[in-house]
Amino acid sequence: MEALARRLAKGAGKEENVSVTFKKAVDACLEDLLNCSGIAIGSPEYFGTMAGMIKDFFDRTYDAAQAQTIGLPYIVFVSAGNDGRGAITQIERIAAGYKWKKVQEAIRVVGVPTEEDFVGVEDLGHALAAGIDFGIF
């Protein structure tokens, strides 16, 4: 999962006018969320659900950030040993509660990531950053 996240950040970093912050959910805080122009949420799938630390991040930020982040562009990518759909559904349901704007369909990587998977998440990160840079999100 971390390797996929790093490739996504690499893709986002291709946009010179966009600053990319790479953090694990455990290290991310309310200020990070309030000061971003878009968010990429990546999670491994555990037992058909998102990682607990992703849920913890949402729990720690929701009350203070929900009204201030309405319309925040977001993307989701999941690494799964099984199927990944449960984790995506949970993340998207929570993002809907924040009233964020999904700007691309989630990417599911099932099994060991291939180079094609890495390229896909890199492109996803680049698309998010480009959309923010061009003001279309």
What are the sequence ranges of the domains in the chain? 19-113
Q: What was the pLDDT predicted at 17?
A: 96
The pLDDT of 113-130, averaged and rounded, is 98
List phi, psi (to 5°) of 58: -60, -45
Q: What was the pLDDT predicted at 77?
A: 98
Q: Give residue-wise pLDDT tens across range 6-64.
A: 999 999 999 999 999 999 999 999 999 999 999 999 999 999 999 999 999 999 999 99
Q: What was the pLDDT predicted at 85?
A: 96
Phi-psi group of 49: left, alpha or beta (phi > 0 → left; psi -120 to 50 → alpha; rest → beta): beta
The fold for domain 19-113 equals Rossmann fold (3.40.50)
Q: What was the pLDDT predicted at 28?
A: 98
Q: What was the pLDDT predicted at 82?
A: 84
Q: What was the pLDDT predicted at 62?
A: 98
HEC per residue, 27-87: CCCHHHHHCCCCEEEEEEEECCEECHHHHHHHHHHHHHHHHHCCCCEEEEEEEECCCCHHH
State both tokens at 72. Answer: 């925040």
Q: What was the pLDDT predicted at 137?
A: 92
Instruction: Report pTM.
Output: 0.95
Q: Give residue-wise pLDDT tens across range 87-119.
A: 999 999 999 999 999 999 999 999 999 999 999
Q: What was the pLDDT predicted at 67?
A: 98
